[in-house]
A and B are shown apart, each in its own frame.
Chain A
Amino acid sequence: MADKIKLFVNGEEVEVESGKNLVDAVSAVGIEIPHLCYHPALGADGNCRMCLVGLEEGGPPLVPACKTPAQEGMKVLLDAEHIRKIQHDVMEFELINHPIDCPVCDQAGECKLQDYYMGYDRKDSRMTVPQVTKSKKLDFGGGVVHDQERCIVCGRCVRFLRQITKTGELGIINRTDTARVNIFPGRPIDNRYGLNVVDLCPVGAMTSSDFRFKQRVWFLKKVPSVCHGCAKGCSITIDHNREKYQDDIIYRFRPRLNQQVNGYFMCNDGRLSYRRENEGRLTQFRLGKNERDMLDVITGCNKEIAHSRKTVVLVSPDLSLEQMVSVKALAEKLGATLSGFSDGYIKTGDGDDYLISDDKAANRKGLEILGIDSSRKSFEEAMADAELLINFNNDLSLSYDESGIRSLLGDTRTIACSTHDDELTGQAHFALAISSYSEYAGTVINCDNVLQHFTKAVTKNNELPDVCAIAAELGSPLQNAGQAYAELQRAIGALSEYQPADIPAEGLNLNDSEAANVTA
């Protein structure tokens, strides 16, 4: 913990962390200093002047809070006539050329300008001259569409692309009231983190071509979760909604602040991976090609399992720890060989040293901690004389080409428990639809050994069973995720004192605890 210092805001003493600027220091104790250009990840720029506060003793009478370190004994003045006038004047200034687009603006509902207008301005416009008009729809590339008229020229997007991605596609062109954000002609936004500028934009100037005009944000249900796009496991918020007479679908992923994992940002690939939760899903239970009741298919599977002399159980490295524990218990019960072989999930060279990992599996550390063998050799040896393969959502097409799969499977019978309908589920003797990570609660461990728990976000009209439920139906002694979690607490010592709901939002860093050692 950082040192604490005491300072005064509006005459009241507050205790804040030292080493922070005034905006961050006092916001931690619930006092808001309005600010537009400042963002903790991009540093203070001091261009918007919205955060000006008074200092009662010593130093200049007015300072930008974003550029002023919190100091012991400081007397900060926020609630005073002249400060309120500054805030009102800055708002009036920002709004001179801001169009009243709110009814058609994606940002409406989560817009700083709207919030601050209500909080600090609430006055009619005094402007009698025509507003400066600029471009309303500029394609900046990388899925970013820009509205220059809404822009308040805070420069967050420009700073993000210069400081964080170091690609510098955007600049502030011109000056005075004709200043605007633009790309250099022919050099569009071209990096894998570009869509973060949409989140960073405090107003509706940066829009995502993917989300543009799809939903009003106040209709979206926002649930904290964990991205399953790669082994980094960025903390995200899933924004979903059920339109009248429709199914519940996801409209966007947004990064959720987690200093232990992803900070404020996430990559474009992960952000757009929500589409895979909506599309191409397996929703049927099938015997061969024929759709049947779930129970019929389960009964068929159980007969098949009973007849099989050698069974191989394959798990996906994307499954939650609870699911892996359930499947592991199932494999032990059946005397089957358990494998987590998934070399194909690793795309060597695709990652970077920031947030994108080579490994596209969300929970490979889980396989390791639970001692599930993932080697190609042992999987292929087991498959050589296997009569039945029970596959829990492991996409073999990533690890093998078509002929590879054919020779691997031979005449092995297959039970495919899958989130997505593809060629392999089409060929399986039994296909069982299962829920995907937005539809169940679970725990995963990322590539840096940070364990995160996520809750169920989406409830589909036709709810699908999760892997724990299917495993139980097929004979696992663990009946549900709750029982699996209790088992997990025995395996991972660090979890023993945590119920799922108690796991901190930023996760548990298992590197910090010796108890991370496998005890199972």
Chain B
Amino acid sequence: MSDRSQLISTGEPFQFDKERDAEFERLVKRYPTRESMILPALWLTQEQEGWISQEAIAYIADRIGTFASKVYEAATFYTMYNLHPMGKHHICVCRTLSCWLRGKQEIIDYMRDELGLTPGKKTEDGKFSLEEVECLGHCGTAPVVQVDGEFHENMDVEKFKSLLATLK
């Protein structure tokens, strides 16, 4: 997992749109404490904007009434939360033990050499973005790559090349 602590500031105040606002209020009633809303509120933000900005984290913390540091913790812990604008296709490569032992690094190196793409970044044309993530739960078929939420198992560089070719 790359360092995700550098949040991006939009310089604009963030707030939920009408629909998410209503959804937040609907969900908050479900939980015994408001802090339970940290993860759902981050999802709502990502749904709305595609990614989560520094302003959005501050907004969520204030809206829930918790410490901004707690929301910051959760947002940086889970790699499923995007902390910067994504490319058209978002690629996640698992870096946990099985995938590492079974050659995830070759796939990462391939992207670095061929596309100039490193974890936490996106390509200049905005087509691809890459994140190295912790265990995706498919250790038996490692290494595993997730493209736009879809799993591709038993990957190697050749398979990955042909996978990329199918992405427009």
Instruction: Find chain B residues with CB under 8 A from A182 CB.
Output: 5, 69, 72
Nearest B residue (CB) for A181: B69
* B80 nearest CB across to chain A (Å): 13
Stretch at the interface among A45-53, A84-92, A97-105, A168-176: A168-176
Interface contact A172-B73, CB-CB below 8 Å: yes
Interface contact A178-B9, CB-CB below 8 Å: no
* A138 nearest CB across to chain B (Å): 10
Instruction: Find chain B residues with CB under 8 A from A185 CB.
Output: 7, 9, 54
Q: Does A187 contact B (CB under 8 A)?
A: yes
Instruction: Find chain B residues with CB under 8 A from A170 CB.
Output: 69
Task: Contacts A176-B134, A185-B9, A185-B54 given; indicate if A171 touches B67 (C-beta within 8 A).
Answer: yes
Instruction: Find chain B residues with CB under 8 A from A167 CB.
Output: 67
Give residues of chain A (135-173) contacting chain B, Cβ–Cβ below 8 Å.
Answer: 158, 162, 167-173
Instruction: Find chain B residues with CB under 8 A from A35 CB.
Output: none
Per the bound structure, the CA–CA distance linking A180 and B72 in Å amounts to 12
* A180 nearest CB across to chain B (Å): 7
Instruction: Find chain B residues with CB under 8 A from A186 CB.
Output: 58
Per the bound structure, the CA–CA distance linking A138 and B146 in Å amounts to 35
Interface size for A (C-beta < 8 A) is 20
* A84 nearest CB across to chain B (Å): 27
Instruction: Find chain B residues with CB under 8 A from A180 CB.
Output: 5
Q: Does A219 contact B (CB under 8 A)?
A: no
Interface contact A173-B73, CB-CB below 8 Å: yes
Chain B, residues 1-21, CB within 8 Å of chain A (1/0): the string is 111110101000000000000
* A162 nearest CB across to chain B (Å): 7
Task: Contacts A173-B76, A184-B57 given; indicate if A178 touches B3 (C-beta within 8 A).
Answer: yes
Chain B, residues 42-77, CB within 8 Å of chain A (1/0): the string is 000000000000100110010000111111110011
Interface size for B (C-beta < 8 A) is 22
Interface contact A174-B69, CB-CB below 8 Å: no
Instruction: Find chain A residues with CB under 8 A from B61 CB.
Output: 184
* B35 nearest CB across to chain A (Å): 11
Per the bound structure, the CA–CA distance linking A419 and B1 in Å amounts to 58
Interface of chain A, helix or strand or loop or mixed? mixed
Instruction: Find chain B residues with CB under 8 A from A174 CB.
Output: 1, 3-5, 76-77
Q: Does A424 contact B (CB under 8 A)?
A: no
Candidates B9, B54, B69, B134; contact of A175 at CB < 8 Å:
B134
Nearest A residue (CB) for B58: A184
Instruction: Find chain B residues with CB under 8 A from A108 CB.
Output: none
Q: Does A63 contact B (CB under 8 A)?
A: no
Output the residue of B1, B9, B67 with the most chain A CB within 10 A.
B67
Per the bound structure, the CA–CA distance linking A186 and B69 in Å amounts to 11
* A25 nearest CB across to chain B (Å): 32
Task: Contacts A185-B7, A185-B54 given; indicate if A178 touches B2 (C-beta within 8 A).
Answer: yes
Per the bound structure, the CA–CA distance linking A343 and B156 in Å amounts to 79
Per the bound structure, the CA–CA distance linking A174 and B79 in Å amounts to 9
Per the bound structure, the CA–CA distance linking A175 and B78 in Å amounts to 8
Q: Does A510 contact B (CB under 8 A)?
A: no
Output the residue of A162, A170, A171 with the most chain B CB within 10 A.
A171
* B91 nearest CB across to chain A (Å): 19
Interface contact B72-A184, CB-CB below 8 Å: yes
Q: Does A183 contact B (CB under 8 A)?
A: yes
Interface contact A184-B69, CB-CB below 8 Å: yes
Instruction: Find chain A residues with CB under 8 A from B134 CB.
Output: 175-176
Give residues of chain B (8-38) contacting chain A, Cβ–Cβ below 8 Å.
Answer: 9
Per the bound structure, the CA–CA distance linking A184 and B66 in Å amounts to 12
Nearest A residue (CB) for B95: A176
Instruction: Find chain B residues with CB under 8 A from A187 CB.
Output: 58, 68-69
Interface contact B1-A183, CB-CB below 8 Å: no
* A191 nearest CB across to chain B (Å): 12
Nearest A residue (CB) for B6: A185
In the A-B complex, the 5 residue pairs with the smallest Cβ-Cβ separation, listed nearest first, are: A168-B67, A171-B69, A184-B68, A171-B73, A173-B5
> Can you pick out 6 interface pairs between chain A and chain B where the beta carbons lie within 8 Å of each other?
A167-B67, A168-B67, A171-B69, A172-B73, A175-B76, A184-B68
Given A174-B77, A175-B76, A185-B7, 16 further pairs, Cβ under 8 A: A168-B70, A170-B69, A171-B67, A171-B69, A171-B73, A174-B5, A175-B77, A178-B4, A182-B69, A183-B69, A184-B57, A184-B68, A184-B69, A185-B9, A186-B58, A187-B68
Chain B residues with CB under 8 Å of chain A are 1-5, 7, 9, 54, 57-58, 61, 66-73, 76-77, 134
Chain A residues with CB under 8 Å of chain B are 158, 162, 167-176, 178, 180, 182-187
